[in-house]
Every structure is written in C-alpha cells, then in structure tokens.
C-alpha cells in the first residue's frame, strides 16, 4: 500500500459516514438529457432553420452504414486518433514526470511546451506536409501533438502538486528517492495524468478534422469536408454525431480506468 493510499484510507475511516442521498439515477438523467437535446434539435429544424431533421440524418446514416462507407470512415479515423493519442500519452507521461521532478529539465523543456501550446494544430499542417509528406504520418503527428501537449501539462502539474508532507514523511521513514517517486509521487499524480489523458483525447478528436485535410481518402473528417462541397448537411451531421459518440465512449473507458486506479480518492 502506498503512502498516499494509506493516508486516504485513514482519512476516510476517521470521517463520519455521509448520509445516503437518494435521487434520480444518473443513467435516467443521461437519457432525459439526450431526449431533450434531440427535441431541441428537431424543434430548430421544424422552425425553418436550415438544419436537417433527426429522421433525415438517421436515414442518411443507414445509407452510409449499408454501403460500408461509414464503417470504413470510422475505422480510418479511429486508427489515426488512437495512434496519435497513444504516442502522445506515452511520451507525455515520462516528460511530465521529468519536468516535475527535476528543476533543470523543467527549465529546459517547459518554455517549448508552452510555446507549442499557443499554436493551433491547423497552423502546424503546412509544416507537417512539407517535412513528412502527405501520407498517414503527418495526420498522426498533428493528433499526437495535440494529445501530448494536453497530457504533459497535466502530468507536470500532478508531480509539482504532490503534498510535501507525504514526501517528507516518506523520507523520515527512510525511503529513498526512487521509492518516494514510485510509492508517493506516481500514485498522487495518477488522477492528474488520467484527467490529462481525457483532455488529450478530446483534443485528438478535435484535431481529427484538421488532420484529415492532408490528402485523406477516408475518414469522418474527410467525409464531412467532401459533403460540405455539395451542401450535404445530413452527411455532415452523421459525421459530427459519429465523432461525438466515439469520443464519448472512449472518454467513458478512461473514466472507468480512473475510478479503478484511484479508488482511494474521495469522490462526490
């Protein structure tokens, strides 16, 4: 058991048990929210706004599913997002730990991280095309950059925000730096890392459409851009909804992992 987990469990045990509050289940509230959203969307369409109605979008979605177009686009976009996101997180976590633990590394790397955070991914595309060509590499690189920048900042803040009392207590007990890092800093930083991953995942999906500007032949972003040329609003809505649903499902997976890995943390 880590020092952080032990401290959290002692605090939980000593605190008075909160009263159980009964209310509407979260799943029911989610369904109500979705229903209201669809109703508002339908209302705007019926009011004469240039927005396709839900049945029209559903019909177009069925057509794209039937001919295999939607599945191909989903797989292409999902592969790019996963590749860029995983690479970004894999690099961001160790870099964030180094920045937070070593002042010299922080001084060398932090200005560059902050510099690239101010540049939108869309502005990186011309440079990525010139340096990396027009294949899959520049698309994945742009998504990688978006996820990396979000996650590295969260990891860094998690490390520098570790309670000094926990570190000092571990030193008093005879723990060395390696043990302190593994048993105190890493567990205390885990919630920040997972939040950074969720933010990075959102940034990855948000960057997808821009990334698929680079000579893509498949993908949800590519399909939406092609539909824009023909003013095909139902197809654009199908793409938007598909990105939103995929992003939501992946976010829920990360949220589940967060709850399992940080079960010692007090929640509301």
Distance from C-alpha of 221 to C-alpha of 239, rounded to nearest angstrom: 7
Q: Is residue 200 part of a domain?
A: yes
Q: What is the pLDDT of residue 245?
A: 92
Q: pLDDT tens-digit profile of 67-90?
A: 989 999 999 999 999 999 999 999
Asked if pLDDT for residue 96 goes beyond 60, the answer is: yes
Q: Is residue 21 part of a domain?
A: no
Q: What is the pLDDT of residue 15?
A: 47
Q: pLDDT tens-digit profile of 250-264?
A: 999 988 888 887 766
Q: Is residue 27 part of a domain?
A: no
Q: Is residue 12 part of a domain?
A: no
| Residue-range definition of the domain harbouring residue 198 | 60-261
Q: What is the pLDDT of residue 264?
A: 61
Q: Is residue 13 part of a domain?
A: no
Specify the CATH number for the domain of residue 124.
Answer: 1.10.3720.10
What's the number of domains the chain is made of?
1
pTM over cut 0.75: yes
Q: Is residue 118 part of a domain?
A: yes
pLDDT band at 159 (very low <50, low <70, confident <90, very high): confident
User: Who has greater pLDDT, 5 or 171?
Assistant: 171
Q: pLDDT tens-digit profile of 214-228?
A: 777 888 988 888 888
Q: What is the pLDDT of residue 266?
A: 61
Average confidence (pLDDT) over 171-178: 78
Q: Is residue 34 part of a domain?
A: no
Q: Is residue 2 part of a domain?
A: no
pLDDT band at 3 (very low <50, low <70, confident <90, very high): very low
């Amino acid at each position: 058991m880590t020092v952080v987990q032990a401290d959290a469990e002692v605090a939980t045990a000593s605190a008075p048990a909160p009263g159980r509050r009964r209310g509407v289940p979260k799943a029911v509230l989610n369904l109500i929210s979705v229903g209201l959203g669809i109703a508002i969307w339908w209302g705007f369409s019926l009011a004469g706004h240039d927005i396709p109605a839900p049945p029209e979008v559903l019909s177009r979605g069925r057509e794209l599913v039937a001919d295999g177009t939607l599945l191909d686009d989903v797989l292409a976009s999902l592969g790019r997002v996963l590749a860029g996101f995983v690479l970004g997180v894999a690099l961001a976590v160790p870099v964030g730990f180094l920045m937070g633990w070593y002042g010299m590394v922080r001084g060398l790397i932090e200005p560059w991280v902050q510099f690239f955070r101010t540049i939108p991914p869309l502005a990186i595309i011309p440079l990525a095309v010139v340096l990396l060509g027009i294949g899959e590499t520049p698309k994945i690189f742009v998504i990688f950059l978006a996820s990396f920048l979000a996650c590295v900042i969260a990891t860094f803040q998690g490390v520098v925000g570790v309670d000094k009392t926990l570190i000092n207590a571990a030193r008093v007990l005879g723990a060395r730096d390696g043990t302190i890092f593994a048993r105190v800093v890493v567990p205390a930083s885990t919630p920040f890392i997972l939040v950074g991953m969720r933010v990075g995942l959102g940034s990855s999906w948000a960057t997808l459409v821009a990334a698929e500007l680079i000579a893509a032949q498949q993908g949800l972003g590519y399909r939406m851009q092609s539909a824009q040329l023909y003013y095909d609003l139902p197809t654009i809505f199908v793409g938007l909804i598909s990105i939103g649903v995929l992003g939501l499902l992946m976010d829920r997976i990360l949220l589940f992992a967060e709850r399992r890995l940080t079960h010692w943390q007090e929640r509301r």
